[in-house]
């Protein structure tokens, strides 16, 4: 069974996304779009991170839901990458 984090929705144009199973590191880089209808949502499976996880974000704000199995990244539109 393949269990890994992934972006369910991206509030912009994805530039790079990858998951490294050896380090259990998920990376998502995207260009923010002014007309995005909602936030970026990332699924974080508990099976992948049973001891928890760390989120590093540049230029945005994150919140957690679904008992820690999802991360919502709120952006403010405009140029740049997150």
Question: Which has the minimum average pLDDT: 6-20, 38-52, 66-80?
Answer: 66-80
Q: Decide: pTM greater than 0.75.
A: yes
Q: Which of 2, 4, 40, 50 is nearest to 25 (CA)?
A: 4
Take residue 59 and report the two structure tokens written for it.
């230029």
| Cα dihedral value 33, 45, 21, 80, nearest 10 | 10
> Which tens digits make up the pLDDT trace of 21-63?
999 999 999 998 888 778 899 999 998 998 889 898 887 788 8
């Amino acid at each position: 069974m393949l269990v890994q984090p992934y972006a369910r929705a991206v509030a912009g144009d994805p530039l790079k996304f990858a998951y490294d199973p050896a380090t259990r590191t998920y990376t998502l880089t995207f260009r923010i779009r002014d007309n995005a209808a909602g936030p970026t949502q990332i699924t974080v499976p508990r099976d992948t991170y049973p001891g928890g996880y760390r989120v590093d974000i540049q230029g945005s704000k994150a919140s957690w839901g679904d008992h820690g199995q999802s991360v919502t990244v709120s952006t403010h539109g405009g140029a740049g990458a997150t």
